[in-house]
Structure 1
Amino acid sequence: MKKLFFTFLTVLSSSFIIGQASGNVNYKNPQSYNNDNNTIDTDFPSNGDIVVSVKGLANIKADAYTAIFSVTQTGKTTKEVNELIDQRITQSLNAIKLKKGVETFVDMISFVPAYEYEAEKKLFNRKTYNEVPAGFELKKNIHIKFSDPNQLNEFIAILSNNEIYDLVRVDYFSNTLETVKREMMLKAKLLVQEKIKNYQELLGETFINAEKRITDDYIVNVPVEMYKSYEAYNGSSLNLKKAANVNQLSKSVTLYYQPVFNKEFDFVINPTVLEPVIQVQYEVKMAISREKKQPLKADKTDKEFILITPNGDLKTLNTNTAKPVH
């Protein structure tokens, strides 16, 4: 009797999926987000300067959201297609607009003819399949703006009653973004000054007259970029013949929110993350040159020339006299 050897395989992909209610936009073809791009890197050229660097992170809870649902309708005629899709969308929006603080918008996406294959009957030859018009396909997107994230479940229930299931994505917005950026800049400024003071004490030097260069940058990460996917399943190892047929089942893909970790930052605003948030990173770098400045040379333009005459008299020559104009 053959033995079965089971191994637990957990495949963790490096691809990011989308927001808190991530939607289906990346389910089959995940978009790749490089993890290195989520960290600021504003390097100076390596020239022996002292570089003072401060990094900050802020976690901002969104105060507004926009969910996008895709609607597809097919039909034999243009009139039929338009009437069916308008009926589905209108019934959904009438119920959604009853919710407090909700705004909606319908976006036209595409309107194209659809085709199918028709078999051409022949008595003595193989069947021929010809492509013929079968009707029309109409696509529209429903945009829903809301402020309470718990309302999303209500929207899904309403839309599903009208056979609208495709949640494309959810975008996050915050009205405090610029205020938080200014707060981060002030915190970074104080920390830079503190680090410079510490370096001066360690080196026994002063950087007051030293040449300085400075640069800074922001990165804003929204939840749409910060979801990862993985597959967890039990796989079997069998000694099979080459001619054996193996039918594998589709594995379930699990998504989870992966924020930027706060371990590499000098300060963090709102460090505890319970739900997906907008993350703002700020970094400022200052390069301080330790090269000694050369003392300024004396100006040689203001010199006095004294002429001794044949009689032994001393006469001062004026070298700044303008040349005569011819």
Structure 2
Amino acid sequence: MGNSNYQQNQPAQSNWQAPSREAASMAQPPASFENGMVLHINGLLNEVPSHYVALFHVLQIGATQVEAERLLRERLNTFKKGLQGSGFDTTSLRTDFISLVPRYETQAANRLFSKRYTEVPAGFELQKTFSIPYTRAAQLGTILALAGPAEIYDLVKVDCSIPDVQKAQEELRAACLQALKAKERTYIAAGFRLDTLVKALEENFTTTYPTSRYVGYQAYSRTSFEALRRGLLGLGKSANVAEAEHSTVYYYAPVAPDKYDVVIHPVVSQPVVQLSYSLAVRYQPRRRGKNKYFYLDASGQATPLDIK
């Protein structure tokens, strides 16, 4: 999930927080309109990512700008050596400069009748981020273990991608079109003449990445047995309960497949990229206009003619 989502995913007051971001294309019941109908097909494809990028943040303080740069460079070199020893390609590691700002401290100036605090320059604060690409999800554990000796602990986020999005979309579209043909055969068997209707098609693709699918909850009970004991014994005093800090549990909750007609790779055992496809086909009778004929006499009077 990465630390960047830690504050945004705080749970609500209830003990369980449902996923708040569902895919845009959800299944809808067949909608009917005057002299026609609409068929909906919704598909979901789960694809294991093949490319990952871990983004780390590092902060370094130094008495001077040069010292801050040197200390940060030493930490990054330590990290790079560890990555090289584990077989990672460090030539693809990218560093992004974030900020370099002076830091101040307060000094107390003792006077005869007062004490005054003055801010004085104390050093510099240097911040950078750097990204590490890798190809297997299990490699992230190795990367984190190598970051520790370099005193790098802030994993901001992990981005992932699949190599050929267009190919995955075509696979999902083809499966949904097959499901549409099967549904059409059901209606034809029920007596509908769909081949005589005008068709209009609408489609929509959405992609959901793992970063947005982490949710949290807190599992605990607020019952105070000491307060309950005091009440049962009739001591007449209310117990002061000091609440402990309760940890929040985070887990990956993929888009559920229950609202989809077609699901490709339904078993999800790790974070995946999820492609959703929504297809709506409208069937409407052809509009056939009927010509009207009139007989116009010499006086200009128009008389309708019944011509079949």
The answer to whether residue 150 in structure 2 is matched with residue 171 in structure 1 is no
Indicate conservation of the 8 Å contact 1:42/1:217, yes or no: no
Equivalence map 1:78-117=2 (5 Å)? 78-100=65-87, 102=89, 103-117=92-106
Over alpha carbons, which structure has the higher Rg? 1
CA distance in 1, matches of 2:84, 2:209: 27
The answer to whether residue 51 in structure 2 is matched with residue 57 in structure 1 is no
Q: In the alignment, what sits opposite 2:149?
A: 161
CA distance in 2, matches of 1:299, 1:194: 45
Q: In the alignment, what sits opposite 1:191?
A: 179
Q: By how many angstroms is 1:76 displaced?
A: 1.3
Q: In the alignment, what sits opposite 1:320?
A: none
CA distance in 2, matches of 1:288, 1:104: 54
Structure 2: which 5+ runs fail to align? 12-17, 231-235, 298-308
Indicate conservation of the 8 Å contact 1:42/1:216, yes or no: no
CA distance in 2, matches of 1:66, 1:59: 19
CA distance in 1, matches of 2:44, 2:53: 24
Q: By how many angstroms is 1:36 displaced?
A: 5.3
Q: In the alignment, what sits opposite 1:142?
A: 130
SS in 2 for 1:211: strand
Structure with the higher fraction of residues in helix conformation: 2
More deviation, 57-66/46-55: 46-55
CA RMSD of aligned residues (A): 3.0
Q: Could you tell me which of 40, 51, 74 is aligned with 2:25? A: 40
Q: Could you tell me which of 208, 211, 214 is aligned with 2:195? A: 208
Q: By how many angstroms is 1:46 displaced?
A: 7.1
1:286-306 Cα offsets, whole Å, 9 max, x none, are 11124x633342789xx9x9x
Quote the sequence identity (%).
29
Q: Could you tell me which of 204, 208, 214 is aligned with 1:217? A: 204
CA distance in 2, matches of 1:101, 1:232: 39
Q: In the alignment, what sits opposite 2:303?
A: none
Q: Could you tell me which of 256, 262, 273 is aligned with 2:257? A: 262
Q: By how many angstroms is 1:243 displaced?
A: 9.8
Q: By how many angstroms is 1:118 displaced?
A: 2.2
The answer to whether residue 226 in structure 2 is matched with residue 231 in structure 1 is no
CA distance in 1, matches of 2:194, 2:48: 40
Structure 1: which 5+ runs fail to align? 1-21, 306-326
Number of matched pairs: 280
Distance 1:243 1:86, change over 3 A: farther
Q: TM-score, normalised to structure 1's length?
A: 0.76
Q: Could you tell me which of 24, 49, 58 is aligned with 2:3? A: 24
